[in-house]
Amino acid sequence: MIKHLLSAADLDAPTATLIHDIAAEMATVAGREVKKLPTLRGRTVVNLFYEDSTRTRTSFEVAAKRLSADVVNFSAKGSSVEKGESLKDTAWTLQAMGADAVVIRHPASGAPNRLVNWVHGSVLNAGDGTHEHPTQALLDTYTMRSRLGTVAGLNVAIVGDVLHSRVARSNALLLHTLGAKVTLVGPPTLVPPVFETLTPDVRVGYDIDAVLPEADVVMMLRVQKERMNAAFFPSWHEYSRRYGLDAARVRRLPDHAIVMHPGPMNRGVEIAPDVADSPRSTIVEQVANGVSVRMACLYLLLGGRS
Ligand code: CP
């Protein structure tokens, strides 16, 4: 079993499938009166977040607590990072406190890869810059499997701000590993041709309406205003008109197709509110599945099978 989870590329198909299988077992814990397993009793999990998060941080915390680990939540805001303390010195401090695992979110791509040199425990990438978000890809593929029965052979359209999306990158890598076909769709400024080299069979398209009739899954991406240092499209209205998923576009999908979004959403920009709240939408399921999948990851990396 792998020690760290830094990239979706760290996962081969048997390992990803094992995580999905264990997540399905972990999901049964959520239905119990006492939602706890003793698996990680005496182990310490540190959530080290240098960027804002709602879903990822809370679900890692809930996941670790359901496995009976001690959890330390560290936010850069309000810490000595604001006085200029480096990631390395922060890591050494956490190491001195005996962290068995560090879950890190950081604005710099590659920060988790640096961290593995400074701590003895496992490092789990909870999102680094525009690079990767591997547990999001695991929970998204788990959600596809739960809703559609399989991942292999699915046509998955990932639509929107691909350029700034660690979710898109990790999903494209893992979906390829699991045998799905991925089409990245968006304006050319946000889906540059270089993305055609992400995996051997990924496709790039610029016309969402042409892609939807063949899609089993359409995954909408948040437009990441905070990472944009230039005008990537003429106006919000124009972006929404060309690439937003509204009810009319949903009607172009096959009847069985599902609509996904990793959150947080810009309602009314990349996804219409009625679509986000529709029965085809898996957005709330994705959050619930995130707890089960992160329990599976912590179990395997810290306490589980070798
Ligand atoms: N999907 C996701 O990473 O959401 P958060 O930024 O709320 O963690």
Determine whether the shortest distance from the Cβ of 55 to ligand 1 is under 6 A: yes
Phi, psi angle pair for 78, to nearest 5°: 85, 5
CATH architecture group of domain 8-132+287-302: 3-Layer(aba) Sandwich (3.40)
- pLDDT tens for each residue of 198-217: 999 999 999 999 999 999 99
Q: From ligand 1's centre to the CA of 102, what distance in Å?
A: 17
Asked if the peptide bond before residue 264 counts as cis, ω within 30 degrees of 0, the response is yes
Determine whether the shortest distance from the Cβ of 58 to ligand 1 is under 6 A: no
pLDDT at 304: 59
Alpha carbon nearest to ligand 1 atom 4, residue: 55
Tally of residues, the chain: 306
Q: Are 131 and 110 in contact (CB under 8 A)?
A: yes
Which of the residues in the chain have pLDDT under 50?
305-306
Is the CATH code 3.40.50.300 the one for domain 134-283? Answer: no
pLDDT at 183: 98
Q: From ligand 1's centre to the CA of 268, what distance in Å?
A: 19
pLDDT at 180: 98
Q: From ligand 1's centre to the CA of 51, what distance in Å?
A: 10
Q: Are 221 and 160 in contact (CB under 8 A)?
A: yes
End-to-end CA distance of the chain: 5
pLDDT at 306: 37
Domain with CATH 3.40.50.1370 in the chain: 8-132+287-302, 134-283
